[in-house]
Amino acid sequence: MKHLCVFCGSSKGKDPVYVNRASELAETIVREDLTMVYGGGSIGIMGILADKILSLNGRVIGVIPRFLYDLEVGHDHVTELIIVDSMHERKQKMAEISDGFLALPGGYGTLEEMAEIMTWIQLKLIRKPIGLLNINGFYDPFLSMLDTMVAEGFLKQNNRNILLSSNDPEEMIAMIKSAPVFEDTKWIEKT
């Protein structure tokens, strides 16, 4: 694994624990010699992660749609900034260049990005691990909802197992790096 895509909020959240854990994650990413791929923003948890990684001489690739860049939220000081035409192109580009995915607390955008990647994995379109950093129990209700989907017959257990989870940045990166490929899955390789 060389490129880790991180989905996270354009806000910092109310509790300082979110910023503190994002900083710990940045240190882990640099220590593990990973390049972070993210949404290219300079604000919120996104900006904090990028700035911290860059301050530690790490590598950051941002992918941002032109309209967001023009709203002055683009991060001009990352290692590489890729400006695309749409949100759809942004997600596709991030998925193409990343070897794995990690979601931190965020809003609709973070949830949507994470759900799309889980769906792509479930549909066997990609073979890349995804996890979530469950800071301060932020994703406990979401994880419970996934378990309810399984219990009610709307989600198979093997597809529930696609999403890894930990509240510890170091443990989460280790889990993503060592994630197994599910045995019953025949992956469709990109050409």
pLDDT tens across 6-50, in order?
999 999 999 999 999 999 999 999 999 999 999 999 999 999 999
pTM recorded for the entire structure: 0.91
What per-residue confidence (pLDDT) applies to 34? 98
HSE-CB of 160 using CA atoms within 13 angstroms = 16
Q: Structural domain boundaries of the chain?
A: 3-136+163-177
- Measuring CA to CA, how many Å separate 44 from each of 19, 24, 39, 131? 9, 15, 11, 20
Q: Is the pLDDT of residue 121 over 80?
A: yes
Q: How confident is the model at residue 189 (pLDDT cuts 50, 70, 90)?
A: very low
Specify the amino acid at residue 125. Answer: L
Worst-scoring range by mean pLDDT, 63-72, 75-84, 148-157? 63-72
Angle between helices 169-177 and 17-31 (to 10 degrees): 40
Q: Strand, coil or helix: what is 32?
A: coil
- Residue 28 is inside which H or E element, if any? helix 17-31
Degrees to nearest 5, angle at CA 39 with 36 and 44: 95
What per-residue confidence (pLDDT) applies to 182? 47
Residue of 55, 65, 48, 39 whose CA lies nearest to 13? 48
CA distance 187 to 127: 7
Query: pLDDT tens-digit profile of 170-185?
Result: 999 999 999 865 444 4
Mean pLDDT computed over 48-58: 98
What per-residue confidence (pLDDT) applies to 90? 95
What per-residue confidence (pLDDT) applies to 72? 77
Specify the amino acid at residue 174. Answer: A
Mean pLDDT computed over 150-168: 96
What per-residue confidence (pLDDT) applies to 186? 45
**CATH annotation of 3-136+163-177:** 3.40.50.450
Residue of 3, 4, 6 whose CA lies nearest to 114? 6
Mean pLDDT computed over 137-166: 97
- Residue 24 is inside which H or E element, if any? helix 17-31
Where would I find the H helices in 39-160?
44-55, 66-68, 87-97, 108-122, 140-151, 157-160
Angle between helices 108-122 and 87-97 (to 10 degrees): 50
Query: pLDDT tens-digit profile of 77-112?
Result: 999 999 999 999 999 999 999 999 999 999 999 999
Look up tokens 């193409």; give the residue. 96
Q: Strand, coil or helix: what is 191?
A: coil
